[in-house]
Structures are given as structure tokens and as C-alpha cells.
Structure 1
Amino acid sequence: MSGPTVRAATGDDIPTIADIYAYYVTNSVATFELEPPDHADWLRRYRAVTTAGLPFLVAEHPDLPPGPAGYAYCSPWKARPAYRHTAEDSVYLDPHARGRGIGGALLDRLLAGCVEAGVRQVLAVIADSGDPASPALHTGRGFAEVGRLREVGFKHGRWLDTVLLQRTLTGQA
């Protein structure tokens, strides 16, 4: 049995990416969006990330149906030029793909792509939903909690905190 394969996302992956994310928008508090973005919006997001020279990846797994089982990307943390070496990561898996090493494979490749792109700091902003998967994924790869924003999101009838995690990527100017 082999593990996940990670590759650069293409425009052809956008419908699956949009479907994966729509699940989380509708059924969870992992994202604070209230309405799923449509495919055109996802194509704009994809182009913004790749135009900025940042990684946008998908993962496939041989034990799952063909096509992306998850995706990950980094986007600029802030628009101001002094933040140009800082990015925020996003990692989402098809709900049926959890527990197969896909998130770890995506995050490992994402961090490597950030180094290639000249990123020095990667931030993860994680909704404190009580699900330990995302914090564990990040802390297992060297991210450390650096802060908490209390009750900054309201979704599905509850106030939610976000936890800020940060990882320094070495060797960056």
C-alpha cells in the first residue's frame, strides 16, 4: 500500500477543491465563511496564490477515488510589503480522506514550497472547535502556539476563538 501523492494544483482541480471546502463551510466551524465560494471565486483565489509565487497543492491517494483528496495553499499574511516573507497556510481534506497521512504530506510539501518562495514565517489560524486534528498536524511539524483571539467568530450559533500558530522556516533572508 502506498501513500498520498502531492502535486501542484491546476485549474482542473478547482471544482473538487471548491466541493471539499464547501463541505467545511456548510458543516463545520473550521472556516468562518458562511457561504461556500463558487468555482469562479476559487479560480480567482488560485490565480492570486500562484501569481504571488506561493504554493497551491493537491494530494491524491491510491485507496480513494481518483482526483484530489485534499488541498493546501499559502496566501500572503498581509498586503503591506514588510510582511512579504510571511504567509498563512490552509489545509483541507475530503472528510473521507482523514487518517491516511494526506494532511501531513500536504503540509510537508507546502512548507518546502514556502522555503522555495522565500517565505520565512508561516502562520496557521485555526478555529478552536475542539477537534484536535489541525492543531496536532501543525504542532507535529514544528508550529508553536503564539496567541489566541477570543470569540472573534460567530458561526452555527456559537462564539469561537482562533488559535494562532507560527513556524519559522530557516535559511530565509
Structure 2
Amino acid sequence: MAPHPSPLIIRPCFQQDLEYVQLIYAHHVLTGTGTFEIEPPSLEEMTARWGKIVERGWPFFVASPSSDLSRVLGFAYAQPFRDREAYAKTFEVSIYVGPTTQRQGAGALLLKELLTTLRSDGVREVLAVIGDSANAASFGLHRKLGFEHVGTMKNVGEKFGRLLDVIVMQRTLPPLPKS
């Protein structure tokens, strides 16, 4: 029996996808503590953020149903952890999925694609800076894909009247074999 094809496709994010990206992110800003933004960025701001990432050749992906590649169910991107040359091989990943898509595998597929791409690009260390130490879904996703908890920053954010911790998780990517 042939393996069942994945109902999701991970593909590069294009400008026409950004309306969905903005709506997904706005949901997380308004309802969750995984991001510490208080006001959702406008479509223009999200377009500028996306442009900064893709023009530098860094990965920005979306998850779409294989039956409709114009729909976006989640997105993920990576960028250098800090804007200093000594951090050139260390990237931070960000992943957001739509509220009706959570726990359906989109986040894992997006993160796997980011890790594969970053490894191909020679990245050595990957960090996840996770808002809210109670964010069990994000913590579990990163742990499942080989990230380790390396630190907790206590009470560094405040949202919805709560003081919030930030969890830092890290994964080392093995270098590609030399040919």
C-alpha cells in the first residue's frame, strides 16, 4: 500500500499570502501570550517584516492544504538571533498556526522545514524564544523536534494583567557531510 500523501504542503511564503499571515498573527496577538505584542501589526507592517526576511534569503514558509495552495493555515520564519556578525550561525525561529489548525501537525511540518533549510544554509544553533512559560504546546513542539530547555527569563513580559516568563530552547544542527 502506498503511503498516504500529507494533507499539508509547506511552501515559501509569497506576498499574496500575507493577508492570511497577518490575520493568523493578529489572532495570537489579541488572544494569546506566545507573542508579547499588544496591538496586531497592520498588513503593511507584516509586509515590511516579511520583506526584510526574504530579501536577505532567510526562510519564511507557510503551510497550505494540498487541496488548496492559496489557503494559509500557519507560517514560520527564521532570522539571525542578533544583528552582530558573531551570531551569524545562530538563528531564532518563530511559528504560528491558525486557531482552527492547532494540533494538526502544521507547526511540526513548518519547524522541520525551517530546520532542514537552516542546516543547508550552514546554521549551527537554532533558538526558540517562547513567550509564556505556560505555553505547553510550543514547548512540546520544540522538544519533540530536538530542542532543549536552556533557560527561563522570569517576569520579563506583561500582558492581559499577568507577568510572563520567556522560555529559551536551543537545538544544535549537525553540519552537512562534506562531499
Whether these two folds match at TM > 0.5 is yes
Deviations 1:137-166 (A, max 9, x none): 000010000000000000000000000000
Residues 1:129 and 1:27: Cα distance change in structure 2 (over 3 Å): farther
What TM-score do you get using the length of structure 2 for normalisation?
A: 0.90
Residues 1:148 and 1:26: Cα distance change in structure 2 (over 3 Å): same
What's the counterpart of residue 161 of structure 1? Answer: 165
Alignment-mate amino acid for residue 82 of structure 2: K
Equivalent pairs counted in the alignment come to 172
- Structure 2: gaps spanning 5 or more residues: none
SS in 2 for 1:96: coil
In the alignment, structure 1 residue 124 sits paired with structure 2 residue 128: yes
Deviations 1:104-143 (A, max 9, x none): 1100001111112221111001122523110110000100
Whole-angstrom distance in 2 between the partners of 1:64 and 1:132: 30
Whole-angstrom distance in 1 between the partners of 2:61 and 2:69: 18
Q: Which runs of 4+ in 1 moved over 6 A?
A: none
What's the counterpart of residue 87 of structure 2? Answer: 83
What TM-score do you get using the length of structure 1 for normalisation?
A: 0.94
Whole-angstrom distance in 2 between the partners of 1:93 and 1:65: 16
What's the counterpart of residue 33 of structure 1? Answer: 37
CA contact (8 A) 2:158 2:164 kept: yes
1:66, CA displacement in angstroms? 5.1
Greater Rg by CA: 2
Whole-angstrom distance in 1 between the partners of 2:41 and 2:122: 29
- 1:45-56 map, 5 Å: 45-56=49-60
CA contact (8 A) 2:61 2:110 kept: yes
Whole-angstrom distance in 2 between the partners of 1:63 and 1:51: 29
Alignment-mate amino acid for residue 9 of structure 1: C
- Structure 1: gaps spanning 5 or more residues: none
CA contact (8 A) 2:26 2:41 kept: yes
Whole-angstrom distance in 2 between the partners of 1:87 and 1:65: 28
Aligned with 1:21 (options 25, 46, 51): 25
Whole-angstrom distance in 2 between the partners of 1:3 and 1:103: 13
CA contact (8 A) 2:93 2:128 kept: yes
SS in 2 for 1:33: coil
What's the counterpart of residue 9 of structure 1? Answer: 13
